[in-house]
Amino acid sequence: MALPIISADQRLSEPRGIKGCIFGKSGIGKTSLLWTLPEEKTLFMDLEAGDLAIDGWGGDTLRPRTWKDCRDFAVFIGGANPALRDDQPYSQKHFEMVSERYGSPSYLDEYDTVFVDSITVAGRLCFQWCKGEPQAVSERTGKPDMRGAYGLHGQEMIAWLTHLQHTRNKNIWFVGILDEKADDYKRRYYEPQIEGAKTGLELPGIVDQVITMASLSAQDGEETRAYRAFICHTLNPHGYPAKDRSGCLECEEEPHLGRLMKKIQSKAAKPALQRLVYACPDQTRLEQTSLEQTSLPEIAPQQTTAGE
């Protein structure tokens, strides 16, 4: 049996979906991004029951009400994980059970994109489920153990996100609320609104794209004009959480999810040496100044005469 090495040509020819999350403050227009996606190719997972913003949008919708529903839909969309035992969620047995209930998953082939609104509510459903599990009850006192509940919550959320991340042939987008906070020194920072710390810390390492949908301002003559934009680079002047694994995006992009995905899939990434800047912005100027100083002609010191 030969070693199953995947060649570069095979890897590049494989269908590969984009996995990303979009964070922004409440009311910025995250759900309305569905209007920028093709209706017949998009499946909307509506966890918030907040579809008033897309009243009239013609795409199909799923409405999970429990954490069990979320796990079932994830294994139905992403298939079974062969590394798991039969008694674990997302295993082959779990997939077969869900397929028996919902039918063949082949009818999901018509969808290219799954839009999950929102990961904030998914975290709440997960935490509510975790509080009823044995791990959330102290064996010694029989009372609720919040540390156990949060520990289980982190494991469940990471397993759910990782399983959806491995759905290679579909685009998976999560949206969530971004909170603005201040530390003890009144310094401002931003944090995704998700129950527990583990999910928010590990999520950027799971998905390909982390995008903040923000409200920015620009000077238009004497008038200051506000506009929405996607912040896509980790190094951005606003301090927003962001990440671009594709290398195809600018720091600020138009808040149009459909065109953003086309840009990523165009594979128009800059070479790595152009994308990754290792020197500080002033380094080039400092090197030029040093070069100019070394090229100046030497000036002999003036000799002083007695009495001066």
- Closest listed residue to residue 159, CA positions, set 126, 128, 131: 126
Domains of the chain: 14-206 (3.40.50)
- List the pLDDT tens digit at each of the 308 positions of the chain: 678 888 888 877 777 899 999 999 999 999 999 999 999 999 999 998 878 889 999 999 999 999 999 999 999 999 999 999 999 999 999 999 999 999 999 989 999 999 999 999 999 999 999 999 999 999 889 899 999 999 999 999 999 999 999 998 899 999 999 999 998 998 999 999 999 889 999 999 999 999 999 999 988 888 889 999 999 999 999 999 999 998 899 999 999 999 999 999 886 656 666 666 666 666 555 555 555 555 545 544 455 444 44
| pTM metric for this prediction | 0.85
pLDDT at site 87: 95
Orientation of helix 67-78 relative to helix 92-102, angle to 10°: 100
